[in-house]
């Protein structure tokens, strides 16, 4: 089928909850994808950072196939041989005592919210049903009803109320506002170390460190959402490591399975995840053996191929080159690692469409920002290839 045929089918039979670029991808390898007509494009989105390891990485693929031959799903009614091995790997890699595996990023955020609330009641001693969580304006943590309850994007909420109570919104990057918002009923501060969907917004230096100190002093959990920023994207295994902080809980997803499978998790110390008793929380698919085998291979690739360091070095190069483009449309180039936002003075969509015509796939975020987030296995030559096209479009 051609692109035109497939677009017509999708328009007719699919819900219109996305506005994708009209490129119909049929296969992919590393940083490259091909459409149904066989045209090649450089992927500068990496499935919103889920394919940090590059598309169809052979090591992760091998783990998937090998595990799919043996057993794929047991549910947590029984145990499987892969889950303990993933849990141990996460512990040795991150130092957290425990992990709770889920599937999507939003589910892991919901899990962290439940853990924080239960910690608030059972450990901190907050009165029943009074626990509050401080979040940031401009946040993006997913699309469930509870999560959009504290979104500050009108479109994410319009038409979806009534909402879940118990959240207080403060400006991102403002530690004093966080401190002022905390009460005796606050159980957690939930924050992205860099706001991705808001347009790769990097907070002022020292913000997370100040937030961590405030949380410690006021006995509030620091819960960091690393679903998009983590696992190498921001030039470190976790973006919060740039600030030298140790959150009480870390939420991971996306690249945890290198794009082969939805796998997410909450990582935390025993004091936090230990609040869950059997029956408190669960998921039919969370922790299934296929997911765990894939996630272990995906983590191995991140570590063995040094992807966080690669992201730091190549990201600095990319940002530097983009800043020197001298475009009349560009207001700011910002980012960390291979995670770059190019803020324009006008809507970014036509620029993304022009880039697609030249063979580079990017997606606008929050209307005026072009997000550039290629798989972390990209080479300098490939970045230069993309930069030639950015130069053409942005000048
Ligand atoms: N948290 C952050 C920071 C994200 O960027 C996203 C997705 O973009 C999510 C959570 C939700 O993840 P998912 O789409 O897998 O539910």
Q: pLDDT tens digits, residue range 320-339?
A: 999 999 899 999 999 999 99
The CB of 106 under 6 Å from ligand 1? The reply is: yes
pLDDT in tens, 103-116: 999 999 999 999 99
Q: Is the CB of 253 under 6 A from ligand 1?
A: yes
Closest ligand 1 atom to the C-alpha of 253? 15
- The DSSP H or E segment spanning 29 is strand 25-29
pLDDT at 88: 98
Which residue of 18, 47, 105 sits with most ligand 1 atoms within 8 Å of its CB, as the best mutation to test the pocket? Answer: 105
Q: Is the dihedral of CA 82, 377, 342, 224 positive or negative?
A: positive
- Indicate if ligand 1 lies below 6 Å from the C-beta of 142: yes
Q: Quick one: tokens of 322?
A: 């983009």
φ, ψ (nearest 5 deg) of residue 64: -60, -50
The b/e string for 269-292 (b: 16+ C-beta within 10 A; e otherwise) is eeebbbbbeeeebebebbbbbbbb
Question: What integer pLDDT is reported at residue 326 of this predicted model?
Answer: 87
C-alpha 254 to ligand 1 mean position (Å): 8
The pTM is what?
0.98
Q: What are the beta bridge partners of residue 364? A: 370
d(CA 383, CA 388): 9
DSSP code of residue 18:
-
Nearest ligand 1 atom, CA 109: 10
Residue 47, pLDDT score = 98
Report cis status (omega within 30 of 0) of the bond before 162: yes
**Whether 131 contacts 116, CB under 8 Å:** yes
> Taking Cα atoms as reference points, which of 379, 385, 361, 302 lies closest to residue 23?
361
The answer to whether residues 235 and 337 touch, using CB atoms and an 8 Å cutoff, is: yes
- Least Cα distance to 358 among 90, 2, 40, 27 occurs for 40
Query: What is 77-120 written as a DSSP string?
Result: TS--SSHHHHHHHHHHHH--SEEEEESSHHHHHHHHHHHHHHHI
Give the residues of the chain that fall short of pLDDT 50: none
Residue 1 C-alpha to ligand 1 middle, in angstroms? Answer: 32
Distance 282 CA to ligand 1 centre (A): 19
Distance CA 189, CA 36 (A): 45
Ligand 1 center from residue 5 Cα (angstroms): 31
d(CA 241, CA 144): 28
**CA 290/CA 326 separation, integer angstroms:** 48
Asked whether 328 and 336 are in contact (CB, 8 A), the reply is no
Task: List residues with catalytic annotation.
Answer: 140, 225, 254
User: Which residue's C-alpha comes closest to atom 5 of ligand 1?
Assistant: 228
User: What tokens appear for 229 in the block?
Assistant: 């920023």
């Amino acid at each position: 089928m051609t692109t035109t045929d497939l677009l017509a089918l999708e328009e007719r039979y699919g819900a219109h909850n996305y506005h994708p670029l009209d490129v119909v991808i049929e296969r992919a390898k590393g940083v490259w994808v091909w459409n149904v007509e066989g045209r090649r494009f450089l992927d500068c989105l990496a499935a919103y950072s889920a394919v940090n390891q590059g598309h169809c990485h052979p090591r992760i693929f091998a783990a998937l196939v090998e595990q799919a031959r043996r057993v794929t799903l047991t549910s947590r009614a029984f145990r499987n041989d892969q889950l303990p091995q993933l849990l141990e790997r996460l512990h040795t890699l991150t130092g957290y005592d425990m992990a709770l595996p889920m599937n999507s990023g939003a589910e892991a955020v919901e899990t962290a919210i439940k853990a924080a609330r239960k910690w608030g009641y059972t450990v901190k001693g907050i009165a029943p049903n009074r626990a509050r969580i401080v979040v940031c304006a401009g946040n993006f943590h997913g699309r469930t009803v509870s999560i959009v309850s504290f979104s500050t994007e009108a479109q994410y909420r319009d038409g979806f109320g009534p909402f879940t109570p118990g959240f207080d919104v403060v400006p991102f990057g403002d530690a004093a506002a966080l401190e002022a918002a905390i009460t005796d009923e606050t159980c957690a501060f939930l924050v992205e170390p860099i706001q991705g969907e808001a347009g790769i917004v990097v907070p002022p230096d020292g913000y997370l460190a100040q937030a961590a100190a405030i949380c410690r002093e006021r006995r509030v959990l620091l819960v960091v959402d690393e679903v998009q920023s983590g696992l190498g994207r921001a030039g470190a295994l976790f973006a919060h490591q740039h600030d030298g902080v140790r959150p009480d809980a870390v939420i991971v997803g996306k690249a945890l399975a290198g794009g082969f499978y939805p796998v997410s998790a909450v990582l935390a110390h025993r004091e936090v995840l230990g609040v869950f008793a059997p029956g408190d929380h669960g998921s039919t698919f969370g922790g299934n053996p296929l997911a765990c085998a894939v996630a272990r291979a995906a983590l191995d690739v991140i570590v063995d191929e040094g992807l966080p360091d690669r992201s730091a070095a190549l990201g600095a190069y990319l940002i530097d080159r983009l800043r020197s483009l001298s475009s009349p449309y560009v207001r700011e180039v910002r980012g960390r690692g291979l995670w770059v936002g190019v803020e324009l003075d006008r809507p970014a969509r036509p620029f993304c469409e022009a880039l697609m015509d030249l063979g580079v796939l990017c997606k606008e975020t929050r209307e005026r920002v072009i997000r550039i987030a290629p798989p972390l296995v990209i080479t300098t030559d490939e970045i230069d290839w993309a930069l030639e096209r950015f130069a053409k479009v942005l000048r």
